[in-house]
Structure formats: C-alpha cells, structure tokens
C-alpha cells in the first residue's frame, strides 16, 4: 500500500463511479474517516472499511469486490472472509498474510500531507478534501491581542493601584508598606471572515471555511459568505466539520453564482460592522476580486471598512500566478485598503495567511 490516503480514496471512489456506483463526496469522506479511525494494518481490514462506508445496497457488493481487487491488486476479497474451500485461497492469502503487518494509516497520511502541500485547493478530489480536514486541524488560528478597560494585579505593572494599596495598608497600621501595581488585561481581537462563494471561488471557499472549522487554539470567528447575497454562517460553522459544511451549503443558496463584492460589503457594514462587529477586528476577505457590480462601490465600502477594522487581510488565490498585478476591476479598487494580500491557495501558503491574521 504505497499510495497515500488521499490518492487511495480518490482513485478507488473514481473507479467505483465508473462501474456505476453512486459514490459521491459524502461516501468518499466516510471511507476516508473510517480508514483513519480504524488504522487498518492489513488489506482485508481496508476492504471492510470500504464495505461499511461505500455500499448502500446488496447489489453493490459484487461491484465493490471487483473494483477493490483491481485497484489494490489483490485477490478476490471473498478470500478475506475465509469462505472459499480450503486450498483455493487467492494470491493475497498466500503472500500478504505472510508479510509483517504495517500501520497503513501512518504511511498513507504522512505521504498524503507531503503531496497535498503543493496541490492547489481547486484541484483536490473529495477524498483529498476529507484528508485536508485532518491536516488543517493541526493549524493554530489566532488574532493579535488588544487592551481592555479591565485591569489585573501585577507586581511589574507600571501603574500603582491606589485603592488596593490603601486596602493592604490596613494590615500594617495604615502605613503603605508596599505599593500594589496593575496592568491592563488583554484579549484576542475579533476575527471577521467574508468569504466569496461565487463560481470562480467555490473550491477555495470550501477549503478556507474548512480551515476555520478545523483550526484549533484560535479566536472564534464571525463568518459570512457572499456572492449575490450576504449570509451569516457563524452558528452553522460552530459544529463538527462535516456537519458545518453541510449546513453552510444549505444556508448559503447562492454557491457558484455571480459576485457583487461591493454590495455585500455595504450590507455587512450597515447591518453588522458599524454596530461594533468590525470595530478593532481583523477582517479577512476571501475573494478573487471578480466584481460584477460597480468597482467604485467596492472602493467606497473598502474605505469605510478600513476606518473600522484593525487590519484587512485579502485572500486571493489568483495572486499566486507569476506576474499577477491588480490592474483593473474589483481587486484594483480594493488593493489600497488592504493591510495584507495573500494567496492561501494550497497548504504551503496557508502559513502566510495565519501570520497575516496574527500580526499586531
């Protein structure tokens, strides 16, 4: 089993679809998760993972057996059940059972992560997207901190806490033997994400929303999607990754439609941003900048947003292309108001995004 988990899942599920089985992204994801949970050490165990997650009717079992034997170059999986007459076992029973067992999950996941590092999110298969969740769970997403009006006692604080000093003086006959000091408390800045889910951004949008769901140790984000309308997805994403992506698809009915970035920003600022959500926040806009509306409207709304937000980070996968320049259209209108522009189009570019979000 030299193939990694992502390639294994994508190739296997594609072969099943060719043979007429309705294996969509949901079944492919279940198969991938089953392999990662079970950690099969032998090919028969891998077959049982496939049988449990990819078959919905008895008629599909024979198709699964044939395709499995072809893809993984084994004997008929009927051998795995031990229901053939003695002495007629296939090639797997004669060879693989005599080999030392291996931890397939470690080998496959490790090479998969290495291969996915340089793969554009738009080119990933359903099985690879499922593995991407596992990898993204290792990222840490955190915003810079800001001072609050609250304070805390600190021996090295720059300011003297007069009230606490006098209270402590009661214990020494009213004499302030020691000065109590304090420093302001800090808290992470809010993170607001506006994600373009139009046709040109659909694949990257799913990967970025997946990152927000999976990243650990970071600030909770307010998440909105837009194409022809603005949709708030914060509550939908506050669940496990699979359920989050399903709810996101249900609550944002304009997936893969046109893009009106300026109108979406205006609605966000008027309805949420100016009322406090964007004030002092790190605002991340995920879009390729293809504005079907008025570029002047986008410029005006970016100017408004820049007065509210602490930082504006624009994620545009097109900027990864050599020689890219924001010469015309929406990106040209938005560029002057961005504190950082990153591509984040694949795993090895996500660190740049995380750094831009965390910069003070």
The whole-number pLDDT of residue 317 equals 93
**CB neighbours (10 Å) of residue 25?**
14
pTM of the entire predicted model? 0.65
Query: In the predicted model, what is the mean pLDDT of residues 311-332?
Result: 89
Note the pLDDT tens digit of each residue in 73-132: 665 666 554 433 333 333 333 333 333 334 444 544 455 556 677 888 888 877 777 777
Task: Tell me which CATH code domain 191-358 carries.
Answer: 3.40.50.410
pLDDT exceeds cutoff 90 at 298? yes
DSSP percent split of the chain into helix, strand, coil, nearest 5: 50, 15, 35
The whole-number pLDDT of residue 85 equals 36
Domain boundaries, the chain: 5-136, 145-188, 191-358
Cα separation, 239 vs 241, whole angstroms: 6
Helices (H), the chain: 5-18, 25-38, 43-54, 59-71, 91-95, 104-116, 126-136, 162-169, 202-214, 241-251, 261-271, 295-308, 329-334, 347-358
Place of tokens 């795995």: 80
Q: Where is 258: in which H helix or E strand?
A: none
Q: How remote is the C-alpha of 297 from its chain's centroid?
A: 30
DSSP tag of 122: G
| Structure tokens, 334 | 């938005």
Note the pLDDT tens digit of each residue in 118-174: 888 888 877 777 777 777 777 778 889 888 877 777 777 777 877 777 888 787 877
Average predicted confidence (pLDDT) for the chain: 78
- CA separation, residue 321 to residues 316, 342, 345 (Å): 10, 12, 10
Half-sphere exposure of 235 (CA within 13 A, CB side): 4
CA angle 178–180–183, rounded 5-degree value = 150
Place of tokens 């100017």: 303
Cα separation, 188 vs 359, whole angstroms: 12
Query: In the predicted model, what is the mean pLDDT of residues 22-41?
Result: 79
Note the pLDDT tens digit of each residue in 204-247: 888 888 888 776 545 578 989 888 888 888 887 776 556 666 66
Phi first, then psi: what are they for 42, rounded to 5°? -135, 160
């Amino acid at each position: 089993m030299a193939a990694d988990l992502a390639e294994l899942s994508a190739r296997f599920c594609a072969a099943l679809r060719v043979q007429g089985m309705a294996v969509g992204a949901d079944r492919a994801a279940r198969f991938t998760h089953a392999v990662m949970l079970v950690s099969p050490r032998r090919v028969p165990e891998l077959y049982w993972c496939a049988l449990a997650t990819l078959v919905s009717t008895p008629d599909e079992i024979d198709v699964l057996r044939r395709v499995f034997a072809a893809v993984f170059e084994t004997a008929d999986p009927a051998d795995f059940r031990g229901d053939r007459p003695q002495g007629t076992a296939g090639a797997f029973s004669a060879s693989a059972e005599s080999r030392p067992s291996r931890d397939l999950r470690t080998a496959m996941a490790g090479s998969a992560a290495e291969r996915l590092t340089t793969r554009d999110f738009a080119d990933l298969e359903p099985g690879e997207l499922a593995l991407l969740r596992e990898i993204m769970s290792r990222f840490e997403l955190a915003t810079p901190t800001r001072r609050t009006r609250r304070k805390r006692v600190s021996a090295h604080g720059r300011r003297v806490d007069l009230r606490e000093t006098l209270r402590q003086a009661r214990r020494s006959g009213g004499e302030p033997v020691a000065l109590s000091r304090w420093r302001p408390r800090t808290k992470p800045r809010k993170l607001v994400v506006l994600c373009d889910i139009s046709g040109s951004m659909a694949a990257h949008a799913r990967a970025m929303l997946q990152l927000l769901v999976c990243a650990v140790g970071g600030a909770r984000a307010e998440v909105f999607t837009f194409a022809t309308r603005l949709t708030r997805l914060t509550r939908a994403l506050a669940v496990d990754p699979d359920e989050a992506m399903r709810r996101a698809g249900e609550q944002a009915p304009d997936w893969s439609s046109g893009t009106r970035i300026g109108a979406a920003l205006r609605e966000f600022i008027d309805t949420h941003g100016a009322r406090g959500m964007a004030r002092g926040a790190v605002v991340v806009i995920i879009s390729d900048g293809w504005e079907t509306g008025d570029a002047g409207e986008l410029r005006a709304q970016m100017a408004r947003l820049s007065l509210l937000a602490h930082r504006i980070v624009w994620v545009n996968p097109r900027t990864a292309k050599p020689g890219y320049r924001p010469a015309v259209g929406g990106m040209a209108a938005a560029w002057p108001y961005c504190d950082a522009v990153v591509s984040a189009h694949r795993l090895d570019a996500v660190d740049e995004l995380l750094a831009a979000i965390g910069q003070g």
